[in-house]
Amino acid sequence: MKDFTDKVVVITGAASGMGREYALEFARLGALVAITDVNAEQLAETHKMVKAISGKSSLSEVLDIAAEESVTDFAGKVKRELGNAHIIINNAGIGGGGAPVWVQDNAQYHTTMQVNFFAVVYITKAFLPQLLTNQEGAVVNVSSVFGLLGTPGTSDYCASKFAVRGFTESLMVELADTPISVHLVHPGGIKTNIAKHSKNGAEFEEKYLKTDPLFAVREVIKGIKSGKQRMIFGYQSSLLRFLTLLPLKLRNRILHREMGDMRDPEHYGLLDQYSTSSPRS
């Protein structure tokens, strides 16, 4: 797809960060934008900014994308008010619990998977019939560089982003003989607020979240235009991509050392307790 004029573009997680930049950039390109988020106030701000850029029709909906029936209803509303969707940007996500496996609450795994993975499935399945009816369109699913390799304290987040990767790569094959393009995005350290609720969020943001969200959005749009199926970009993405080529033991040692200052001493102190309480043979 080369021209986005009057194309219907659905964007999740549009209240801030990359989601907001997707909405504004597609509005600049003449698209009809449908945006969602759970943050009503910030989503309204994004919608106001979209309307200031473009006089064309747009739609804003406060939506829990982890609620399947609500997603289905939203897809119907987009079709009624704007027409069939042409592009879906599965951008929304949460940062996860930020704790090692032995500390992480099982409920957090369910929450992270529901928002980061199952919502991608729900949105894709709800809107894909509209793209197929158009015989034109693009599905953009946002994974992460943490969907390429596992990192400490992020097992729920990595699991969800690996799941997005597997789902999307399968969809690429299934739609290979159709006019629908499928794109898998692995952003590196994009400067968003995804880590703000985690215990070490501010420290993580300062160390790793460096890349301007607008740069990331424009990379994705270039990828849609060129048909590029996998996109890896952002702060330290080249390094992490290189690490995937290394033997697993070496990679793990490097990551353990690199991200050591993100570890919570209280969490890792539990390992010492386990080792001293376990009988030695």
Domain count along the chain: 1
Q: Which of 31-40, 117-126, 210-219 has the lowest mean pLDDT?
A: 210-219
Q: Which residues contact 147 (CB under 8 A, 6 or more apart)?
A: 158, 161, 162, 164, 165, 186
CA distance 199 to 266: 12
User: Nearest to residue 102, comparing CAs of 277, 279, 266, 278?
Assistant: 266
Let me know if residue 229 belongs to a domain: yes
Query: Can you tell me the mean pLDDT for 160-187?
Result: 97
Let me know if residue 280 belongs to a domain: no
Let me know if residue 1 belongs to a domain: no
Q: Which of 64-78, 223-237, 251-265 has the lowest mean pLDDT?
A: 251-265
Cβ atoms of 5 and 29 within 8 Å: the answer is yes
- At 280, the pLDDT band (50, 70, 90 cuts) reads very low
At residue 188, the pLDDT reads 78
Percent of the chain with pLDDT over 90: 65
Give per-residue pLDDT as tens, 25-41: 999 999 999 999 999 99
Let me know if residue 2 belongs to a domain: no
Q: Which of 77-81, 90-94, 261-265 has the lowest mean pLDDT?
A: 261-265
Token readout for 87 is 């592009």
157 is catalytic: yes
Check which CATH number belongs to the domain holding 227 and give it: 3.40.50.720
Query: Which one of the listed residues 22, 109, 122, 157 is annotated catalytic?
Result: 157
Give per-residue pLDDT as tens, 104-117: 999 999 999 999 99
